[in-house]
């Protein structure tokens, strides 16, 4: 599988980023083995230097790696905000810390905000999934305000990114690919910089509007269709798929969080 947009990309040489570059190389080998047909458009819009907040939709477990492709043309390494539990997993957690990703504790969001702010002050690109969790409806969920707040506070661009097709490879509820060669689309929209006095809700609405337009375009131009009725699971209901509608997806999300909280409580009780 060729690299999207041709050629291997150079990353800035620094010792702290060696792990990151190694993980990127290993991930790309996995993509080759899966023969993913990845198309990246608009990646010239990611700033080649200076801080920015890269904002992506969330439908599958590969979104971190796929959203990171948006920054390859600009030779940037994205410091993603990710749930804190990921950092507790052996090996993976050490790699996440070495790559300077930002742990997010749902009960202590202020700490994650401060760490993300420090990365922006260093001139880094910070990656945010404003839906917080994977959307089971494959449509955009309500956005949390963190990405807009970071960009407004630091006067840096918000870069909207949409990934479509990656959820077919691996996502929640045991859904995963049963064949190779799945198309994946990564679209990067026009960045915009919120003003210091801009209303945060208005900034979030503008961001969501831009991402919805990107998602509509990615879905409308997607080169694959379900092969049979059982294969319609990866399409949203509005496009004839069998994904749950937004209200049912929200109920499933809440149930999943309850199960996670119960497992965490049981583990704590055994200590």
Domain boundaries defined on the chain: 15-230
Q: Give the span between the Cα atoms of 180 and 32, in whole angstroms.
A: 10
Full pLDDT tens readout for the chain, 271 residues: 545 544 334 444 454 588 898 999 999 999 999 999 999 999 999 999 999 999 999 999 999 999 999 999 999 999 999 887 888 888 888 888 888 999 888 666 688 899 999 999 999 999 999 999 999 999 999 999 999 999 999 999 999 999 999 999 999 988 888 789 999 999 999 999 999 999 999 999 999 999 999 999 999 999 999 999 999 999 999 999 999 998 998 898 888 777 767 776 676 655 4
Distances (CA, A) of 234 to 63, 184, 215, 268: 15, 13, 14, 36
Q: Give the span between the Cα atoms of 160 and 217, in whole angstroms.
A: 13
DSSP annotation of 18 reads H
Q: Which fold has domain 15-230?
A: Glycerol-3-phosphate (1)-acyltransferase (3.40.1130)
Handedness of CA 44, 6, 75, 171 (dihedral sign): positive
Distances (CA, A) of 221 to 164, 177, 214: 10, 20, 11
**Residues 14-47: tens digit of each pLDDT:** 545 888 989 999 999 999 999 999 999 999 999 9
Q: Does an H or E element contain 149, and which?
A: helix 146-154
């Amino acid at each position: 599988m060729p690299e999207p947009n041709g050629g291997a990309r150079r990353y800035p040489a620094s010792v702290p980023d060696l792990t990151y570059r190694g993980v990127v190389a290993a991930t790309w080998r996995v993509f080759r083995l899966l023969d993913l047909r990845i198309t990246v458009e608009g990646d010239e819009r990611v700033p080649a230097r200076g801080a920015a907040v890269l904002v992506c939709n969330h439908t599958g477990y590969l979104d971190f790696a796929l959203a990171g492709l948006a920054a390859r043309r600009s030779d940037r390494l994205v410091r993603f905000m990710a749930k804190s539990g990921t950092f507790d997993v052996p090996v993976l957690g050490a790699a996440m810390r070495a790559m300077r990703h930002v742990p997010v504790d749902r009960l202590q969001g202020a700490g994650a905000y401060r760490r993300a702010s420090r990365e922006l002050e260093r001139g880094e690109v910070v990656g945010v999934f404003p839906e917080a969790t994977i959307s089971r409806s494959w449509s955009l969920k309500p956005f949390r305000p963190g990405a807009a707040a970071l960009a407004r506070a630091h006067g840096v661009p918000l870069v909207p990114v949409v990934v479509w097709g990656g959820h077919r490879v691996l996502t929640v509820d045991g859904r995963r690919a049963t064949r190779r060669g799945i198309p994946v689309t990564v679209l990067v929209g026009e960045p915009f910089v919120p003003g210091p006095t801009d209303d945060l809700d208005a900034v979030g609405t503008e961001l969501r509007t831009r991402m919805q337009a990107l998602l509509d375009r990615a879905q409308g131009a997607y080169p694959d269709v379900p092969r049979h009725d059982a294969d319609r699971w990866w399409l949203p209901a509005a496009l004839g798929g069998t994904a749950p509608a937004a209200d049912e997806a929200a109920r499933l999300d809440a149930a999943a969080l309850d199960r996670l909280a119960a497992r965490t409580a049981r583990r704590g009780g055994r200590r």
